[in-house]
Amino acid sequence: MAGPELAIDNLHVAVDGTPVLKGLTLSIRGGEVHAVMGPNGTGKSTLAQTIMGHPRYQVTGGSITLDGQDLLAMKTDARARAGLFLAMQYPNEVSGVTTANFLRTALNARRDAKDPVRLKEFRDELDHAMDILSIDHGFANRYLNEGFSGGEKKRNEILQMLLLKPRIAVLDEIDSGLDIDAVRIVAQGVDASRSPELGLLIITHYQRILNYIKPDYVHIVYDGRVVKSGGPELAETLESRGYEWIREELVPAVEGSPA
Amino acid sequence: MSTPELLTLPDEPTVLADRRRAARDLYDALPVPTRQRTPLKARRLEAIPYREPAAADLDEVPAALRSAPDSAGHVVLSNGHVVVCQLSEAARQSGVRLLSLAQAAHQDAALVSEHLGSLVAVDTDRYTAANAAFWRDGVLLVVPQGIAVAEPITIVHWVGAAAAGVFPRTLIVARDDASVAVVETYLGDPTDSHRVLVSATTEVIAGPGSHVSVSALQQLPPGAEAFLRRRGRAQHDARLDWATAEFGAALSVAGHHTDLAESGARTTSYTVTFGSAAQHFDYDAEVVHIGPHTTSDMRARGVMSGRSRSIFTGLSEIRKGARRTDARQKEETLMLSPDARADAIPSLLIDDNDVFAAHAASAGPIDELAVYYLASRGIPRADAIDLLVRGFLGPVVERIALPAVQNRIWQAIDAKLQEERGRGTL
Ligand SMILES: Nc1ncnc2c1ncn2[C@@H]1O[C@H](COP(=O)(O)OP(=O)(O)OP(=O)(O)O)[C@@H](O)[C@H]1O
Ligand SMILES: [Mg+2]
């Protein structure tokens, strides 16, 4: 089977009637790592949530396909079963549902009802993934994200990714709120799952995580569009120079200069 | 008309026969009760020929319910008649008595007349009077001083297709330092929708230092109109734990009341409700702190779907002199449908200063962001709601100390969720 391909074409999205994405185009194939960077409020999470089908984001134009299939016509749960995963910037707390029970239900949703995952097999896999991410096994029996610290929630997102084995994963600021060691542990966990069968889109503000997961492409999102794409060196430039030069590049030189 | 002018049981002692007569007079005198949020008149309960005595019918009781190998004692009532009454040899040896109330009435008239009706007032309303006037049988359980019954005593109230009125009574007497768990289930064929009036009472005397736990699972058939009254009195240092679940019947006016009569008495009260279709639940949970240093913890969680309606009235009353008491209550409802309605009415009545009391109530719809989060991991909407409902009820179910009761309640929740899926409401 050919590797996965997520294609976002000229995407327009509005939140409560306000346009946020204004013609964003991006393609991710299996084996590739794309980093998306950009100032606060430019639409990065909007892109991520729209890919997943969050009910608050209205697509007003453009398309998203996974392996040529129209993703926008699919419900969120079907998108996930088709191989999409989103590690959320702000994961929800789900009271009363343990992490283990939730993950088992999510795995079983991908299997034949007559062939649920065996408990022992599941437990072993869960323990293994928890070890990779240095998560205490006790977290499996805690209610999903309830009372988790910011960093614990982020690890829990990646834990889910390791178990659900997506084909395209979007990681939205998975490094925010993590201490320096945790960034390394989580990033190495992600990096270890790199394969031709997995395409990664990493939304971040920091260079650090990209030291562990070397991106093939770096994109800068500004005002709802990808305004610049390049290789890993682009992230380094941003780290040292910030976004000001991008803004300047975008503003036509004529403006403000004497005629 | 074949309505018996006055029901008396063979060999009924005069004192009980007199009370029955008085109850009958009260029943005739009392109107259909007025409840603020439950329009009882409109239900036309009087159209049910509930005073017709229904026969016992063991054959109708599913075989699986007739025995309970994990129980210390097991009683089955069919349409209000005792048809099975078993007590383990070990319990019998230790002096535990478990018998049909009709039998107890003439074997031990003094004990029965001392306690029966001592807690649930006959004149509470027309239907408690009906229970006191028309009861045919019930259960007497006596646990002697210092005896701990390790396994639960289970009581099944089966309401069959031929019944129009069912009026069982349960009397539990735990002597000093005794300990026992009683599990009452109210059951019928879920496909039987004929109308039947069920009025049951349970009275619990928890002697000094005793620990009594009473669980009651209401899974009556869909045509049932039920009035379930439970009342207990906890004496010095006694502990009385209630776990109640309301799942069945068309109408259930139910509740439990605890008097923490003496110092050091404690009670916990956990109630789980799941309403669907046009079910109507009106539940009163009450605790009265009379003695000092008494504590109560009352929690209720309900899930409401369809056009169902629930009223949960929690009352924590602290009488003067009940100093250093601790009374807490919390009621939460999860609404699965915009057409369902739930009222949680917590109240505190405090007549002493040196106390701690707290109450809270909330109701809200399913968290759509949580559904989205679960969906983003591949879980379909119906399964996500299923998980969230279980997750919502779990914290109360898991407070119930008896694993067997927890299991029964989970099974009842499974059945309800299955029903909801069948209706396509998830
Ligand atoms: N659910 C929402 N409700 C209201 N406004 C929203 C919502 N989601 C996004 N927006 C608005 O859309 C714009 C883009 O937000 P988005 O979260 O996509 O930014 P971002 O690039 O992820 O920013 P950050 O780097 O701070 O995470 C912002 O102006 C934000 O206020
Ligand atoms: Mg964001």
Residue with CA nearest ligand 1 atom 24: A40
Alpha carbon of A251: minimum distance to chain B alpha carbons (Å):
38
The pLDDT tens digits for B160-211 are: 999 999 999 999 999 999 999 999 999 999 999 999 999 999 999 999 999 9
- Best substitution site from A11, A42, A89, A176 to test ligand 1's pocket, by max atoms within 8 Å of Cβ? A42
Read off the tokens for B17.
């026969």
Q: What is the dihedral of CA B95, B96, B98, B102, to 10 degrees?
A: 50
Nearest ligand to the C-alpha atom of residue A39: 1
Residues B203 and B176: their CA atoms lie apart, in Å, by: 17
pLDDT of residue A110: 96
Per the listing, tokens 């004990």 go with B111
Residue with CA nearest ligand 1 atom 17: A45
Question: Predicted confidence band at B1 (pLDDT cuts at 50, 70, 90)?
Answer: very low
Q: What is the DSSP string of B150-213?
A: -SPEEEEEEE-TT-SEE--EEEEEE-TT-EEEEEEEEEE-TT----EEEEEEEEEEE-TT-EEE
A30-A36-A39 Cα angle (round to 5): 170
Alpha carbon of A147: minimum distance to chain B alpha carbons (Å):
15
CA B151 to chain centre: 20
Alpha carbon of B183: minimum distance to chain A alpha carbons (Å):
26
Of A53, A54, A106, the CB nearest to B377: A106
The pLDDT tens digits for B393-404 are: 999 999 998 999
The domain of A215 spans 5-255
Cα A67 to ligand 1 centre (Å) = 28
Pairing of strands B165-166, A225-230: unpaired
Q: What is the dihedral of CA A80, A83, A87, A93, to 10 degrees?
A: 30
Q: What is the DSSP string of B237-272?
A: T-EEEEEEEE--SSEEEEEEEEEE-STT-EEEEEEE
B191 in contact with A, Cβ within 8 Å: no
pLDDT of residue A251: 73
Cα A88 to ligand 1 centre (Å) = 13
Q: Which residues line ligand 1 (CB under 6 A)?
A: A 15-16, 20, 38, 40-46, 56, 89
Q: Residue A21 maps to which CATH number?
A: 3.40.50.300
Half-sphere exposure of B26 (CA within 13 A, CB side): 21
Nearest to B375 by CA among A98, A55, A116: A55
The pLDDT tens digits for A58-70 are: 999 999 999 999 9
Question: Which portions of chain A are predicted below pLDDT 50?
Answer: 255-259
Closest atom, ligand 1, to C-alpha of A42: 21
- Region of A83 on the Ramachandran plot (φ > 0 left; ψ -120 to 50 alpha; else beta): left
Read off the tokens for A53.
């089908």
A56, A90, A92, best to mutate vs chain B, most B CBs in 10 Å: A92
Q: Chain A partners of B378 at a C-beta cutoff of 8 Å?
A: 77, 80-81, 106, 109-110, 164
Residues B261 and B210: their CA atoms lie apart, in Å, by: 13
pLDDT above 90: percentage of residues in chain B: 93
Nearest to B147 by CA among B173, B183, B175, B181: B175
Question: Which residue of chain B has the CA closest to A83?
Answer: B378
The secondary structure of residue B35, as a DSSP letter, is B
Contact state of A92 with B370 under an 8 Å Cβ cutoff: yes
Surrounding residues of ion ligand 2, Cβ less than 5 A: A 44-45, 89
Residues B400 and B32: their CA atoms lie apart, in Å, by: 35
Average pLDDT, chain A: 94
Alpha carbon of A219: minimum distance to chain B alpha carbons (Å):
25
Residue type, A134: S
pLDDT of residue A252: 63
Q: Chain B partners of A92 at a C-beta cutoff of 8 Å?
A: 367, 369-370, 372-373
Q: What are the residues facing B75 on neighbouring strands?
A: B85, B155
Contact state of B373 with A88 under an 8 Å Cβ cutoff: yes
Cα A48 to ligand 2 centre (Å) = 8
Provide CB contacts within 8 A for B59, sequence distance 6+. Answer: none
Q: What are the residues facing B376 on neighbouring strands?
A: none
Closest atom, ligand 1, to C-alpha of A221: 21
**pLDDT at residue B241 above 50?**
yes
Half-sphere exposure of B252 (CA within 13 A, CB side): 32
The secondary structure of residue B425, as a DSSP letter, is -
Residues B217 and B271: their CA atoms lie apart, in Å, by: 10
Half-sphere exposure of B29 (CA within 13 A, CB side): 10
Question: Which residue of chain A has the CA closest to B378?
Answer: A77
Residue type, B152: P
pLDDT of residue A259: 40
Q: Chain A partners of B376 at a C-beta cutoff of 8 Å?
A: 52-53, 76-77, 79-80, 85-86, 88
How buried is B186 (Cβ within 10 angstroms: 0-12 exposed, 13-18 middle, 19+ buried)? buried
The pLDDT tens digits for B6-32 are: 577 777 899 999 999 999 999 999 999
Cβ(A210)–Cβ(A204) below 8 Å: yes
Contact state of A105 with B388 under an 8 Å Cβ cutoff: no
Residues B322 and B208: their CA atoms lie apart, in Å, by: 17
Alpha carbon of B390: minimum distance to chain A alpha carbons (Å):
7
Read off the tokens for B393.
């009820």
Of A52, A76, A97, the CB nearest to B391: A97
Q: How many CB atoms lie within 10 A of CB A151?
A: 16
Residues B374 and A130: their CA atoms lie apart, in Å, by: 20
Cβ(A78)–Cβ(A71) below 8 Å: no
Q: In what order do the strands lie in the sheet with B153-159?
A: B81-87, B73-78, B153-159, B179-188, B211-219, B239-246, B266-275, B295-304, B326-335, B356-365
Residues A236 and A215: their CA atoms lie apart, in Å, by: 12
Average pLDDT over residues B351-367: 94
Residue with CA nearest ligand 1 atom 9: A46
B362, B366, B368, B379, best to mutate vs chain A, most A CBs in 10 Å: B379
Residues B168 and A78: their CA atoms lie apart, in Å, by: 52
Average pLDDT over residues B414-423: 93
Question: Which residue of chain A has the CA closest to B383?
Answer: A105
Provide CB contacts within 8 A for A49, sequence distance 6+. Answer: A56, A57, A86, A88
* pTM of the entire predicted model: 0.92
Cβ(A122)–Cβ(A107) below 8 Å: yes
Work out how many domains chain A is built from and give that number. Answer: 1
Contact state of A94 with B370 under an 8 Å Cβ cutoff: yes
Average pLDDT, chain B: 95
Closest atom, ligand 1, to C-alpha of A49: 18
Q: What are the residues facing B87 on neighbouring strands?
A: B73
Domain ranges of chain B: 14-262
Cα A20 to ligand 1 centre (Å) = 8
pLDDT of residue A239: 87
Q: Chain B partners of A110 at a C-beta cutoff of 8 Å?
A: 378
A166 in contact with B, Cβ within 8 Å: no
Contact state of A102 with B374 under an 8 Å Cβ cutoff: yes
Residues A13 and A58: their CA atoms lie apart, in Å, by: 5
Residues A226 and A203: their CA atoms lie apart, in Å, by: 13
Residues A92 and A102: their CA atoms lie apart, in Å, by: 13
